[in-house]
Amino acid sequence: MKRSGRVAVLLLVLPFGTASAQGYTARVDVRGQAVDFRGVQLDSVAVGSVITGPTGGPISPDSIAVTCLAGATFCQFYRPGPRREAVPVTTGIDLTMWGLGMSGLSLHGNGRLFADFGDNNAWPGSVPAGQLLEAYAQYDSKGFIGRLGRQTFSSRLGFTGFDGAWLLLERLPANLQLGGYVGLGLADGVALPITSAALNPFNEFQPSERQLVAGGNLNWITPVAEARLDYQREVDRDTRNFVSERAALSATVRPWRRVSLSGGTEYDFSYGWWGTSDVTASYTEPRLGLSAGARHYRPYFNLWTIWGAFSPVPYNAVNGSVSLRPIPKLEVRARGERYWFENTETETPLVNEQDNGWRWSAGATYQLAARLQVDGGFATDFGPGASSQTWSGRVGYDPRENLRLSLDLGTLKRPLEFRFSDANLDWVGVRADWQVMGNLQLGVGAIRYSEDRNRPDNAAFSWDQTRIDFRVTYSMSSGTEWAPLPPARRLKTDR
Amino acid sequence: MMITALLVAATIIAQPDTGFDHQVHARFFPLCSTCHAGVTESRASLWPAPASCAQCHDGKIQPAVRWQPRLGPSPTNLRFSHADHLAVYRRTKPETNRPTCSDCHTPAGASWMTVRRTVSRQCLECHGITADHFAAPDTACATCHMPLATVAGFTREDVARFKAPPSHKDPAFASGGHGKLAQPPTENGRSFAIAPSCATCHARDFCITCHVNAPETRTIQGLGPDPRSLAIPATFEAPASHTAADFLTTHGKESRRSTQACQTCHTRESCLTCHNGQPDLAKAMFTAGPGRGPGAQLTRHAPITHTAYWDEQHADMARSRARNCLGCHTRTQCLDCHRPNPGDATGYHAVGFLTRHPAAAYAREADCSNCHNNQQFCASCHQQSGLVSSGQLNPGYHDANRFFGAGHGQAARQSLETCVACHSERDCLQCHSAVAGRSFDPHGPGFDADKLRKRNPQMCSGCHGQAIPGK
């Protein structure tokens, strides 16, 4: 076990041995699934073996379209790849402790252990075997909060993880709050340092040391408005070069009851350009939610990669959504977005590619009876690279208050723009979620996927499979301080 | 025969529910005390002995009857005592020779032995109360009625038949009006623990049905315990404030202002149905247990801001008012989505997303990097799927466009995050490097070499080696 893994286990286990008379809440969560996936496999055939196919193009002897470069002795093609079977099982432990002899002091830990009982850790995220998502001590006093340890920090610049210290002064004059943090950063979107081998599947350049991350934020909060200014920089400790330097401004105003205007923007000092920005107007009442907005999306790359020098262009979009409850038992929803990429300055008469697109979805949830609910939705998108159309539905039935059964059905089509691979997928699945007792939840599901990857040659393949999954969640606490909470996210069929 | 049948039927119809038809026997009894000696003589029984009925109803002269005097406590909650009333009259109005039995038990003008139960109006009149029965002042109730908990003769069914007074129909009665009415009155030095009007029909068990703060409420403790009081159904009625559209967002402030009001119906557990941890306000609430009501049973509801698309719109609120979120959510719930669990089959995305994800990823319908690391999540899976280059650019994958290689620039600049899920930097440097490649310039709109060079010249050297332009 690597050092980070040992630290993770230590931080999670240590409190149990030292805090016999303290308040605590803990959740142990075991989840697993059995899933297949299938891709392609590069192959080649000698130029002399290539034959002409029925449509006039070159094909391999087993009728797969090949690509032959001028002067090359071999032509290349991609045949259906092997099935990859993955059985990732995760054990998650979440612990909070307080009553440590100092009012306001608490300890928090959240870690996961992974094992993949399938093909060579085929499922993404299964390595390394342990991950410490958070482990910090928090001191929460009137006027400020401080944290020390591994933690995540959410700002407009991302959901950042780091090992270090964070402080927020909450009661400054003029409704202001001031926060700051400094530490050794984790990689984007994962609780691993950038030096982890798991983050270098292509064996590319990888920093030898973790970056130093520091930032601050100034918040202004009133009952009708709030604004937040963020600044963050990351520095390569080896070369002292910047890894990133960005700032962001976000604000929300509620000029009238039920109406809000929110938006924000990012600025990347390294590239000297404005990053993702958006503005949204919302109207919300118990039976109606409306939103309309505009968005400017620009991908972000740090300076450890060369990708930013390739000038990724942003797109601009307008969007809107509505959710309506015309009668108490029925909720309908719809949303849509239209977007246009900015000029890439790469036009060539040889290739005509999409530079704009749209996506929209609609769905409805109806309470057929007190314990019976149906949900259906349609989602479609059309744009560069790929498109899709999805019909899906779910029937939920609660035979008992602590038991939920559901049936999922759906079908989708997904053509690609740059490759002949029109996927057709149909599925039907069942699942059961059972609150066995106050602190024990069980879940089990099975779903049958029928998927065809259609092509006009023999590289087409079927990929039918049955996926099963399970979940066991056990919660403990020193008292009634914490009740098991239902999932925070709403399950929708048209996501 | 028909006449006999009609007479029998008429007799049955006229027979009062006491089992004894006084009027039929009117000519046999000149005095009430013949049978009800106990009214005037405290040692005698209020009821006649069955043997005295059998003097006529012996089965020969008249059919035998099997009447028995009532045993056990009287099924009434009246404090009434014939002897006391007579004694008071004889002491205060000796000249009147009143009252007689007919004064109370015979309607005005009715013939001898037309007997009925006393009606409350008569009590009120004698006691000088001009209001209606249910509108009588609280202290007047105790004059005639005993508290339910001290009444031995009532069954649950008797209690269930109690009629609710008009005050109970007041819309504000449940939400607070009844508490004011229950406050103990004081009159002429008499003191009460609770309004006698409440105690007449209710007991502590009834209040505990709703009141979480029963042990702390003096008026409720002023009632005796009595499970028969549960025969009257009690229903929770949320106060009008709870139906306001923004109640979920304002109830925290309200509860700080009037914690005691919340304690009436809510337990700590009802707070924790939605809130996690031990928020200060929850700590101030009582926990459910013996002697307390279970409190309002709540269902977790999302605030109205949490519309169907809230999961995609929550970021601004979560960043600026994180404490608000932590009222009901744990950080673990944030991490459940923002740090996806490989063992979780029911994640953020809908069923079938694995097949659909190219469409979402190419056009970046969301910022995938908020939750996924490109290298760990995208690249490693694509590598398992054979969707990565193997050290050199292999033609053939993007086969839907014959000239994709020559015209890939637009796709790359539009969806570069997608490209890097399959392509390494080395792939691109085969052509775009100024040192080892074909020197195709990759820089496009918005590129500012000076800015980049100042912040990280190492990045430039990836393509330019040591000969970084402008350095």
Q: What is the pLDDT of residues A426-451, one digit of tens each?
A: 999 999 999 998 789 999 999 999 99
Q: For strands A403-414 and A387-400, give the pairing.
A: antiparallel
B246 has a chain A CB within 8 A of its CB: yes
Given an 8 Å threshold on Cβ–Cβ distance, is B359 in contact with A387? yes
Q: For Cα atoms A314, A320, A323, give the angle at the middle one, nearest 5 degrees.
A: 145
| Chain A CA closest to residue B299 | A486
Which residues, numbered 3 to 42 in chain A, qualify as contacts with chain B under a Cβ-Cβ cut-off of 8 Å? 23, 25, 27, 30-33, 35, 37-42
Q: What is the pLDDT of residues B335-344, one digit of tens each?
A: 989 999 999 9
Given an 8 Å threshold on Cβ–Cβ distance, is B319 in contact with A112? no
Kindly tell me if the per-residue pLDDT of A11 is higher than 50: no
Q: Quote the pLDDT of residue A483.
A: 57
Burial grade of A355 (CB within 10 A; 0-12, 13-18, 19 or more): buried
Q: For Cα atoms B295, B298, B303, give the angle at the middle one, nearest 5 degrees.
A: 140
Q: Give how far B272 is from chain A: nearest CA, Å.
A: 6
Kindly tell me if the per-residue pLDDT of A168 is higher than 70: yes
Site from B375, B427, B463 to mutate, A interface, most A CB atoms within 10 angstroms: B375
Report the percent of chain A where pLDDT is more than 90: 76
Given an 8 Å threshold on Cβ–Cβ distance, is B310 in contact with A384? no
Query: Do B159 and B230 contact (CB within 8 A), yes or no?
Result: no
Q: Give how far A221 is from chain B: nearest CA, Å.
A: 8
Distance CA A170, CA A181 (A): 15
DSSP type of residue A348: B
Q: What is the pLDDT of residues A96-152, one digit of tens each?
A: 888 888 888 999 999 999 999 988 788 888 889 999 999 999 998 888 999 999 999
What is the average pLDDT value for chain B, to the nearest integer?
A: 84
Query: Do B363 and A384 contact (CB within 8 A), yes or no?
Result: yes
Q: Quote the pLDDT of residue A494.
A: 65
- Cis ω before A128 (30° cut-off from 0): yes
DSSP type of residue B181: H
ipTM of model:
0.91
Given an 8 Å threshold on Cβ–Cβ distance, is A480 in contact with B268? yes
Q: Residues near B195 by Cβ (< 8 Å), separated by ≥ 6? A: B138, B141, B181, B182, B183, B184, B185, B219
Distance CA A221, CA B285 (A): 29
A435 has a chain B CB within 8 A of its CB: no
Candidate from A5-19, A209-223, B358-372 with smallest mean pLDDT = A5-19
At B259, list the tokens. Answer: 């914690």
Confidence of residue B178 (pLDDT cuts 50, 70, 90): confident
First to last CA, chain B: 133
A77 has a chain B CB within 8 A of its CB: yes
At A104, list the tokens. Answer: 């306001």
Distance CA A278, CA A384 (A): 21
Q: Give how far A414 is from chain B: nearest CA, Å.
A: 6
For the segment A177-181, the average pLDDT, to the nearest whole number, is 96
| Chain B CA closest to residue A288 | B307
At A130, list the tokens. Answer: 């342990």
Q: Quote the pLDDT of residue B361.
A: 92
Angle, helices B457-464 vs B425-432, to 10°: value is: 60
Site from A79, A266, A313 to mutate, B interface, most B CB atoms within 10 angstroms: A313
At B385, list the tokens. Answer: 């799927």
- Cis ω before B99 (30° cut-off from 0): yes
Distance CA B40, CA A445 (A): 82
Q: Quote the pLDDT of residue A458.
A: 93
At B121, list the tokens. Answer: 């109006």
| Chain B CA closest to residue A197 | B376
The minimal CB distance from B308 to the residues A108, A333, A387 is found for A333
Given an 8 Å threshold on Cβ–Cβ distance, is B354 in contact with A191? no
Given an 8 Å threshold on Cβ–Cβ distance, is A306 in contact with B429? yes
Kindly tell me if the per-residue pLDDT of A20 is higher than 60: no
Query: Do B207 and B286 contact (CB within 8 A), yes or no?
Result: no
Q: Which of A466-470, B230-234, B434-438 has the highest mean pLDDT?
A: A466-470
**pTM summary value:** 0.80
Given an 8 Å threshold on Cβ–Cβ distance, is B313 in contact with A156? no
Q: Quote the pLDDT of residue B388.
A: 86
Q: Residues near A327 by Cβ (< 8 Å), separated by ≥ 6? A: none
Q: What is the pLDDT of residues A268-299, one digit of tens each?
A: 999 999 999 999 999 998 899 999 999 999 99
Confidence of residue B304 (pLDDT cuts 50, 70, 90): confident
Query: Do B434 and B465 contact (CB within 8 A), yes or no?
Result: yes
The minimal CB distance from B335 to the residues A84, A133, A272 is found for A133
Kindly tell me if the per-residue pLDDT of A21 is higher than 60: no
Q: Quote the pLDDT of residue A7.
A: 47
Which residues, numbered 188 to 247 in chain A, qualify as contacts with chain B under a Cβ-Cβ cut-off of 8 Å? 188-192, 198-205, 219, 221, 226-228, 236, 239, 241-243, 245
Site from B326, B355, B374, B471 to mutate, A interface, most A CB atoms within 10 angstroms: B355
Q: Quote the pLDDT of residue B10.
A: 37
Q: Quote the pLDDT of residue A22.
A: 67
For the segment A21-49, the average pLDDT, to the nearest whole number, is 89
Which residues, numbered 407 to 426 in chain A, qualify as contacts with chain B under a Cβ-Cβ cut-off of 8 Å? 408, 410, 412, 414, 416-420, 423, 425
Kindly tell me if the per-residue pLDDT of A488 is higher than 80: no
Which residues, numbered 166 to 185 in chain A, qualify as contacts with chain B under a Cβ-Cβ cut-off of 8 Å? none
Burial grade of A116 (CB within 10 A; 0-12, 13-18, 19 or more): buried
Query: Do B48 and B57 contact (CB within 8 A), yes or no?
Result: no
From residue A359, alpha-carbon distances to A183, A276, B139 in Å are 40, 19, 73
Confidence of residue B250 (pLDDT cuts 50, 70, 90): confident
Write out chain A residues lying below 8 Å of B308, CB-based: 289, 321, 323, 331, 333, 363, 490, 492
Query: Do B293 and B210 contact (CB within 8 A), yes or no?
Result: yes
Q: How many CB pairs under 8 A join A and B?
A: 465
Which residues, numbered 402 to 421 in chain B, qualify as contacts with chain A under a Cβ-Cβ cut-off of 8 Å? 403-404, 406-418, 420
Report the percent of chain B where pLDDT is more than 70: 94
Length of chain B: 471
Q: Quote the pLDDT of residue A208.
A: 92
At A135, list the tokens. Answer: 């482990």
The minimal CB distance from A92 to the residues B268, B341, B372 is found for B341
* Dihedrals phi, psi of B217, to nearest 5 degrees: -100, 115
Write out chain A residues lying below 8 Å of B459, CB-based: 241, 303-306, 308-309
Which residues, numbered 327 to 386 in chain B, qualify as contacts with chain A under a Cβ-Cβ cut-off of 8 Å? 328-346, 348-356, 358-365, 367-386
At A457, list the tokens. Answer: 């040659």
| Chain A CA closest to residue B399 | A419
- Residue A432's nearest CA partner among A466, A399, A393 is A399
Q: Residues near B410 by Cβ (< 8 Å), separated by ≥ 6? A: A344, A346, A347, A348, A351, A353, A355
B96 has a chain A CB within 8 A of its CB: no
More confident residue, A338 or B242: A338
Q: Which of A68-72, A443-447, B330-334, B401-405 has the highest mean pLDDT?
A: A443-447
Write out chain A residues lying below 8 Å of B420, CB-based: 305, 307
Kindly tell me if the per-residue pLDDT of B28 is higher than 70: yes
Q: Give how far A156 is from chain B: nearest CA, Å.
A: 8
Q: Quote the pLDDT of residue B14.
A: 38
Given an 8 Å threshold on Cβ–Cβ distance, is B272 in contact with A483? yes
DSSP states of A409-470? EEEEEE-BSSSS-EEEEEEEEEEEEEEEETTEEEEEEEEEEEEEEE-SSTT-EE--EEEEEE
Kindly tell me if the per-residue pLDDT of A380 is higher than 60: yes
Distance CA A489, CA A312 (A): 32
* Dihedrals phi, psi of A79, to nearest 5 degrees: -95, 165
Report the percent of chain B where pLDDT is more than 90: 24
Q: Give how far A315 is from chain B: nearest CA, Å.
A: 8
At A477, list the tokens. Answer: 């606490």
More confident residue, B251 or A323: A323
Site from A311, A337, A451, A458 to mutate, B interface, most B CB atoms within 10 angstroms: A311
Query: Do B168 and B242 contact (CB within 8 A), yes or no?
Result: no
Q: What is the pLDDT of residues B382-425, one digit of tens each?
A: 998 998 876 677 788 898 888 888 889 999 999 999 999 999 99
- Residue A220's nearest CA partner among A156, A174, A285 is A174
DSSP type of residue A490: P
B271 has a chain A CB within 8 A of its CB: no
DSSP states of B258-326? THHHHHHH--HHHHHTT--S--HHHHHSPPP-TTS-----------TT--TTHHHH-HHHHHHTHHHHH
Candidate from A15-19, B51-55, B68-72, B188-192 with smallest mean pLDDT = A15-19
Give the three-class secondary structure for B219.
helix
A282 has a chain B CB within 8 A of its CB: yes
Q: Give how far A311 is from chain B: nearest CA, Å.
A: 5
Q: Give how far B435 is from chain A: nearest CA, Å.
A: 14
More confident residue, A260 or A490: A260
More confident residue, B119 or B439: B439
Neighbours of B242 (CB within 10 A): 14
At B305, list the tokens. Answer: 């801001």
For the segment A442-468, the average pLDDT, to the nearest whole number, is 94
